[in-house]
Chains A and B, each alone.
Chain A
Amino acid sequence: MSTSRTATATSRILALLLLAAWMAPAGSQEAQIRLGTPISEEQLSALDLIAAPDGSGMPPGAGTARQGREVYELNCLRCHNVNGEGESGNTVIAGGDMQSEESPLRTVGSYWPHASTLFDFIRRAMPADIPKSLTDEEVYQVTAYVLFLNGIVGEDQSINSETLTAIVMPNGNGFVDQSHLH
């Protein structure tokens, strides 16, 4: 412990000296530090988990809801209950109707604008107690199952990067982009 701390301290001092050296030549305002190490997208393939609506970042693989049922029972049921009925607002992942008279229940099926978000989120963040423990194949399967619970795909429909990103979600047109207002 203490040796590594000393080592860090030493390398920080070295860093300062290095910085001083960079800044040294008087009048050269172009002495911009560039310390990023070049890397290839291939080297980042295991780290970059962003799966976007245009299909970028979606890994190979496919699955159906029928296969996903077992994945769900083993990995999701304990928090999201039978049929995705959930425990509380945060864990209800099926049902709801944006046009309901009372305040709408907003879930994957009723609210989410993009199907890609489901794959992206499950792969990065679920199951909440052991995130990133599923294979890509299992993520496709359980994604299909959650879509099936919401009546969005059939039980035997194959879900892969192409079929997933082609899905038009029920509330797909329900959002208004405010990003220009700043």
Chain B
Amino acid sequence: MKELQWEKAAGNGLLNRRHLLQLGLTGLGAAGAGAVFGQDAGSILQVPEWSRMPGASASAYGEPSRFAGNFQRMAGTPDPIYPGGGASRSPLQFLQGTITPNALHFERHHAGIPDIDPAEHMLVINGLVRQPLVFSYENLLKYQMVSRINFLECSGNSGALLRGGSADGTAQSLHGLLSCAEWTGIPLSVLLDEAGVLPEARWVAAVGADAASMGRSVPIDKALDDVLVALYQNGEPIQPGQGYPVRLFCPGWEGNISVKWLTQLKLMREPAQFRDETSKYTDTMPDRSSLQFTFPMGVKSLITSPSGQMSLPRPGIYQVTGVAWSGRGAIRRVEVSADGGATWADAMMQSEPMDKALARFTIPWEWSGGPAVLQSRATDSAGNVQPIRDEVLAARGTISFYHNNCIQSWGVDDAGAISNVYV
């Protein structure tokens, strides 16, 4: 039996990551694909049909293959009393690598997506500055830009795991308010410098041009550090759902503060205390005090395959893969467990981890056909380690649900069915 030679790395079938290079692994990728060749192994392979006729012509804007599977965001049902409000989630269990295609980047809108004509869009800087300024889109395009690959995660992502109840779902439905893209834009510090920030300015209130005029306050030190006034996403103009023509982008911080459809930046002494930094995006602790301005997203990881509502067709060797990220640095290490956290093995990073960006990990696992609990645990470059769910609940209670970075447990039953479990 060949399996006996695979070196075990941890309990319940986790194999040494170096075997990745030798194994033909079963990945549970996109739906549908995988009907094995119609021939017997011994028969003569034929040139396929599509090699015998010309295909479709070049197109103006591409689409995925009709065979690629169900690559769709999952959007909530529209609510008539919340016009345009709601979210759509990225299909994490079907994606590979670390970059989210623009059309699949998660969305959260408080009053829908405005249809902005960039010729009439303005970006204003006012308040505690030497000279208030207004910038046209045309002029913003003329500035020297920088590009950065960063994740964006809604602080409400994974919140269902803290609310109690069963939370049956997929990687997408439970954790899909997470994406990663290359953002290109003007360092905010350049535009602030042009307006001349007065010494007493401590906060920048950012406001969008959507119907909610959604606003958030950004501390001045972050604003002068790595915040972008972003104009491009993965090379193309930012899509309307992401803030076309211009959005704020605050690397590593809760998604809501990267204000979309950015139209105003006001320098202030104190935070503006907008509704979405008081009533929402705040966390009430067991003692009933509430944490406000919790900005960096904690170190976190998630196995995307195999994951919730998938099923393993038969015992054998599988590729376990997922993503890891931290708002406080780069990912230094991801460990995987197949026995609910009793033993851990180091996963292999698929590419060089970057600061405040998704990193992809992978490790081979031999499923025996018995019960298993798959988990991943990330450590970032600042030494922060992803906590288990009980630690988060013990520290934060069950009232708050934002900023949850706990370890996800995927239970595998005897039949190979996978679901979210609490261990």
Chain A residues close to B by CB (< 8 Å): 4, 8, 11-12, 15, 18-19, 32-41, 44, 47-50, 52-54, 56, 78-79, 87, 90-91, 98-99, 103-104, 106, 108, 111-114, 116-117, 120-121, 124-125, 128-129, 131-132, 171, 174-179, 181-182
Contact = CB atoms under 8 A, between A and B. Distances in A.
Nearest to B207: A50
B273 A125 contact: no
Interface stretch (B15-23, B60-68, B274-282, B408-416): B274-282
B278 A114 contact: yes
- Residue among B119, B190, B222, B293 with the highest chain A CB neighbour number at 10 A: B293
B291 A48 contact: no
A179 B219 contact: yes
A128 B272 contact: no
Given A124-B213, A175-B289, A175-B292, 8 more contacts: A35-B142, A36-B125, A40-B132, A52-B270, A54-B269, A91-B81, A114-B273, A128-B82
Contacts of B103: none
Given A79-B81, A106-B279, A124-B212, A113 B399 contact: no
A182 B295 contact: yes
B125 A90 contact: no
Nearest to A93: B279
Contact of A50 (B125, B205, B290): B205
A171 B284 CA distance: 12
Interface string B253-281: 10000000001101011111111001100
Contacts of A174: 288-290
Contacts of A103: 398-399
A117 B138 contact: no
A142 B140 CA distance: 39
Contacts, number: 168
B374 to A, nearest CB: 31
A56 to B, nearest CB: 8
A48 B275 contact: no
A179 B295 contact: yes
B138 A125 contact: no
B76 to A, nearest CB: 13
16 contacts: A15-B142, A38-B133, A50-B272, A52-B273, A56-B268, A98-B288, A104-B288, A112-B279, A117-B274, A125-B211, A125-B213, A131-B212, A175-B291, A179-B292, A179-B293, A181-B296
Contacts of B141: 12, 15
Contacts of B292: 113, 175-179
A175 B282 contact: yes
B126 interface: yes
Contact of A54 (B264, B270, B279): B270
Contact of B126 (A48, A99, A116): A48
Interface residues of B, number: 65
Contact of A117 (B110, B205, B279, B290): B279
- Residue among A8, A32, A182 with the highest chain B CB neighbour number at 10 A: A182
Contacts of B417: none
A44 B111 contact: no
A33 B135 CA distance: 12
A44 B124 contact: yes
A125 B279 contact: no
A121 B182 CA distance: 32
Contacts of A104: 284, 288, 399
A116 to B, nearest CB: 6
B343 interface: no
Contacts of A8: 119
Interface of B: 81-83, 85, 110-111, 119, 122, 124-126, 131-136, 138-144, 190-191, 194-195, 205, 207, 211-215, 219, 222, 253, 263-264, 266, 268-275, 278-279, 282, 284, 288-296, 328, 398-399
Nearest to B263: A47
B215 A53 contact: no
Contacts of B207: 49-50
A37 B142 contact: no
Contacts of A39: 124, 126, 132-134
Given A103-B398, A176-B292, A178-B295, A44 B132 contact: yes
Contact of A178 (B133, B190, B293): B293
Contacts of A176: 289-292
Contacts of B111: 125, 128, 131
Given A36-B195, A87-B81, A111-B279, A182 B134 contact: no
A50 B399 CA distance: 30
Nearest to B217: A179
A152 to B, nearest CB: 15
Contact of B273 (A15, A99, A116, A179): A116
Contacts of B140: 35
Given A11-B138, A114-B278, A36 B81 contact: no
B139 A35 contact: yes
Contacts of A12: 138, 141
- Residue among A32, A87, A113, A124 with the highest chain B CB neighbour number at 10 A: A124
A34 B284 contact: no
Contact of B264 (A48, A56, A79, A120): A48
Nearest to B112: A128
Contacts of B135: 35-37
A103 B119 CA distance: 48
Contacts of B134: 36-37, 39
Contacts of A128: 81-83, 85, 111, 211-212
A117 B268 CA distance: 16
